[in-house]
Structure 1
């Protein structure tokens, strides 16, 4: 019996993956043409959060010795992180949802299934975005960075007193798949342009409409 369903956020419920990636390039534009630095950091630190990525970008920008502004690496990192946070919040609050998201969440709420978010987004910005999108009403709990997704899943299991076999995790990337594999719960992979699963998930969908059919078959 399924007791709870856990969702990743970016790329799973809303179409925000590309928005977040492009913002790394946008926030450095005032400092010159340094896209190659962003590309390099994103490649080397693919699983890191925005703080780690932008701190490293700031360090490498300073190291070029070409910046007009006389700022320290820490000051530049703070500025980049602040600008990124402001822009990402505004854009993700208004971006398109993955098809079928609201319908699925409403259906699961009616059925009384406990729903959770497990995201790599820092927790406070994540909660604010969910509130502004009016998504917060659907979720019994919201978990993000600094915890890993595995740590968050363990917390959810403790809170709900659930066994792995009683949980479905829905996500759109390899970290999500690996998290479900490590925990031992069911996994539904959402296939999009950013997914890149190392192994094809046992259950997969291209949107929440398809995922709904899979979920409701599992709830029977």
Structure 2
């Protein structure tokens, strides 16, 4: 089972299992450092961010779209928006990279990824642009466990399709591991198997779901192959 295993990254690999929070919460907080203007109401800013995140879920957009939505809301002129998107996204990446490195990856998860990489071919499928995702994996010392890293501008669905093509396997031979309903829907759209990771923000997954749910990536190998094998 699981000849090819595809992982989302945020709140899946980068997750504090004690608190249920991870890199998604780091990103949420980062926006308020990227837009520190005192006349920007924090409630309005939060609403714009959440509304845009819903629109771009599943890799239909990324941080560039969030920045653009905020700038448009606050009346930035078109000739300034592109420059500001670049500047603010660079700042966002710096804050997020710093936060993820501070969060780190547990020894249990690191060991699980190493063990899984010896049994299966591993990939990353994320809504984060590919370049900063690769930078994060390299900084955490995880890049070598993954054959490929797929992110924006691809969607979660198109990335799964590309992985199936590269590996020349049917979709039902691919296992997608993610933490959000959009991950499940992406896997379902192409016919992948799916395992969910339980976090603080997806509290609906604390009750029975139509797919297995784990509390940590460290639980994956025993679930797939059994303990002591």
- TM (norm. structure 1) is 0.87
Cα distance change on mapping 1:52 and 1:204 into 2, 3 Å: same
Question: What is the number of equivalent residue pairs in this alignment?
Answer: 212
Correspondence for 2:146: 139
Q: Which residues in structure 2 correspond to 1:117-196 (within 5 Å)?
A: 117-195=124-202
1:49-101 per-position Cα deviation (integer Å, ceiling 9, x unaligned): 110001111122236x9xxxxx9333333332221111112222332326732
Contact 1:99 1:208 in 2 (8 A): no
Q: What's the CA shift for 1:33?
A: 3.8
Look up the match of 1:22.
Answer: 29
* 5+ residue gaps, structure 1: 66-70
Aligned with 2:49: secondary structure? helix
Given the two structures, how large is their TM-score scaled by the length of structure 2? 0.83
Distance 1:201 1:145 in 2: 28
How much is the aligned-residue C-alpha RMSD, in angstroms? 2.4
User: Which residue of the other structure, out of 64, 84, 90, is the alignment partner of 2:92?
Assistant: 84
Distance 1:102 1:22, change over 3 A: same
Aligned to 1:200: 209
Equivalent in the alignment of 2:114: 106
Q: Which runs of 5+ in 2 are unaligned?
A: 15-21
Aligned structure 1 segments of 4 or more residues deviating by more than 6 angstroms: none
Paired residue for 1:11? 11
**How far apart, in 1, do the equivalents of 2:95 and 2:23 lie?**
12
* Corresponding residue SS for 1:193: coil
